[in-house]
């Protein structure tokens, strides 16, 4: 089959690789019809290469048609249309029973002290072949796949793999009071959907985003976007919009590669250029994130408010403004999305009326052969790229 394969920093290629096969009685084989490129894929493209090996298949936002199932998979049959969650969870361990599917004890990658295995996402998370490919082996298919109806196009459902449940969890964790205000830092795909979900649930939403195309997309969906002139001092500008107090909640949808952190950027780039063993040790023991967005979020939120961190961070010695956090009595919530936990909440929004505007998120639908170009324009924010979806 054809698959998008990692070869090195900013070097991904569509190669011919062996077809996946059933390896366990709980596996399924899915023919992929759509597979998104995620912002966290760009971390692999740019800074986390020391945890990858040439030949690793990327991608964790797939959907498609079931081709084959193992003997213990009774919930699926060939021909079923399914979306595959990015985290691989068993559905019956202690963590899964708690709804913490991203911490599944059956698939935890204990060798690296990490949570549940993920599709297409480095040694830290199991090095499981991903879904930017023509076919995908799905472990624990007796629990994970989400069946969706025939008829509507893939764009209606594909975001259930990651974007929508991640955004929903961001809003849940933000603990926005009824009629309250939330600021969303970063209006990439997760920030866009977090803002739309919060607005649908009655919150006032203020978006913070320097990229004009992303700001314009948010405004199309009724989001109040901070003017470009206020981006240098967003906390003060947002306080002026909220009676001098600040918003009740802030969602950080940016993560480890925020703009405005030059020293951390240099450290990340150095770790990516080092031999794997050295680069891994540097990330695990002395890794730094670009924290500008998170520090702005902490500055912005009102006293007693909540900061929900849904952007991916990976630093081990990140400096945090503990005095301010303690003095302001801030609450923090964060973590990988527990995809299956939020599916029942989200399904009513995927109707003919499309209240979340899922049809207005992907800016580029590309054949798998053009995946390298998709990564490049997404990483460089070129050609108006906000969300790229591949179609094998």
Is domain 164-334 given the CATH code 3.40.50.720 in the classification?
yes
Is 65 in a helix, a strand, or coil? Answer: strand
Determine the pLDDT at residue 263: 42
- CATH homologous superfamily for the domain 2-147+362-391: Medium-chain alcohol dehydrogenases, catalytic domain (3.90.180.10)
Determine the pLDDT at residue 257: 63
Is 270 in a helix, a strand, or coil? Answer: helix
Q: Which of 319, 302, 292 is nearest to 233 (CA)?
A: 292
User: Distances from the Cα of 156 to the Cαs of 26, 31, 42, 190, 354, in angstroms?
Assistant: 27, 18, 24, 16, 8
Q: What is the pLDDT of residues 317-332, one digit of tens each?
A: 778 899 999 999 999 9
DSSP state of 345: H
Write out the H or E segment, with its range, that includes residue 185.
strand 181-185
Determine the pLDDT at residue 283: 47
Q: Which of 183, 53, 193, 195 is nearest to 128 (CA)?
A: 53
Residue 367 pairs with which residues in a beta bridge? 391
Q: What angle do CA 349, 82, 87 make, to 5 degrees?
A: 85
- Helix axis angle for 371-380 and 39-46, nearest 10°, is 90
User: CATH 3.90.180.10: which residues of the chain?
Assistant: 2-147+362-391
Q: Which strands form 331-334's sheet, in the order they lie side by side? A: 224-225, 204-208, 181-185, 249-252, 306-309, 331-334
Q: Would the pTM count as exceeding 0.85?
A: yes
Tokens describing residue 277: 């063993």
| Sole residue written with tokens 């918003």 | 247
Determine the pLDDT at residue 344: 97
CA distance 50 to 195: 34
Determine the pLDDT at residue 258: 54
> pLDDT under 50 in the chain at which residues?
263-274, 277-287
Determine the pLDDT at residue 46: 79
Torsion of CA 127, 366, 81, 343, to 10 degrees: 70
**Cβ-proximal residues to 327 (8 Å cutoff; 6+ apart), any chain:** none
User: CATH 3.40.50.720: which residues of the chain?
Assistant: 164-334
Determine the pLDDT at residue 92: 97
Determine the pLDDT at residue 284: 45
Q: Which of 237, 211, 214 is nearest to 226 (CA)?
A: 237
Q: Is 150 left (phi over 0), alpha (psi -120 to 50) or beta?
A: beta
């Amino acid at each position: 089959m054809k698959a998008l394969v990692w070869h090195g920093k900013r070097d991904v290629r569509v190669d011919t690789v062996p077809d996946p096969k059933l390896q366990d009685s709980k596996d399924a084989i899915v023919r992929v019809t759509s597979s998104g490129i995620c912002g966290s894929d760009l971390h692999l493209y740019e800074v986390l290469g020391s945890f990858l090996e040439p030949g690793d298949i990327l991608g964790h936002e797939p959907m498609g048609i079931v081709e084959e199932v193992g003997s213990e998979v009774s919930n699926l049959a060939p021909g079923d249309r399914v979306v595959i969650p990015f985290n691989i969870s068993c559905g019956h361990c202690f963590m899964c029973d708690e709804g913490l599917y991203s911490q599944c004890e059956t698939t935890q990658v204990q060798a690296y002290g990490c949570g549940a295995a993920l599709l297409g996402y480095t040694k830290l998370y199991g090095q499981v072949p991903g879904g930017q490919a023509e076919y995908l082996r799905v472990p624990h298919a007796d629990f994970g796949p989400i069946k969706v109806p025939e008829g509507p196009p893939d764009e209606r459902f594909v975001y259930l793999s990651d974007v929508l449940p991640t955004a929903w969890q961001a809003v849940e964790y933000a603990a926005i009071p009824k009629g309250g205000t939330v600021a969303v830092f970063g209006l990439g795909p997760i920030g866009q959907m977090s803002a739309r979900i919060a607005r649908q649930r009655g919150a006032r939403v203020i978006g913070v985003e320097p990229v004009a195309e992303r700001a314009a997309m948010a405004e199309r969906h009724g989001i109040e976007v901070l003017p470009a002139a206020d981006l240098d001092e967003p906390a003060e500008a947002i306080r002026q919009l909220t009676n001098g107090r600040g918003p009740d909640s802030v969602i950080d949808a940016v993560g480890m590669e925020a703009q405005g952190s030059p020293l951390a950027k240099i450290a990340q780039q150095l770790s990516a250029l080092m031999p794997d063993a050295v680069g891994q040790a540097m990330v695990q023991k002395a890794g730094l994130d670009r924290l500008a967005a998170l520090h702005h979020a902490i500055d912005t939120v009102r006293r007693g408010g909540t900061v929900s961190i849904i952007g991916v961070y990976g630093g081990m010695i990140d400096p945090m403004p503990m005095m301010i956090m303690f003095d302001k009595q801030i609450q923090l919530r964060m973590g990988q999305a527990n995809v299956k936990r939020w599916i029942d909440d989200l399904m009513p929004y995927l109707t003919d009326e499309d209240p979340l505007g899922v049809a207005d998120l992907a800016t580029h639908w590309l054949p798998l052969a053009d995946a390298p170009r998709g990564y490049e324009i997404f990483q460089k924010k070129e050609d108006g790229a906000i969300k790229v979806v591949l179609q094998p």
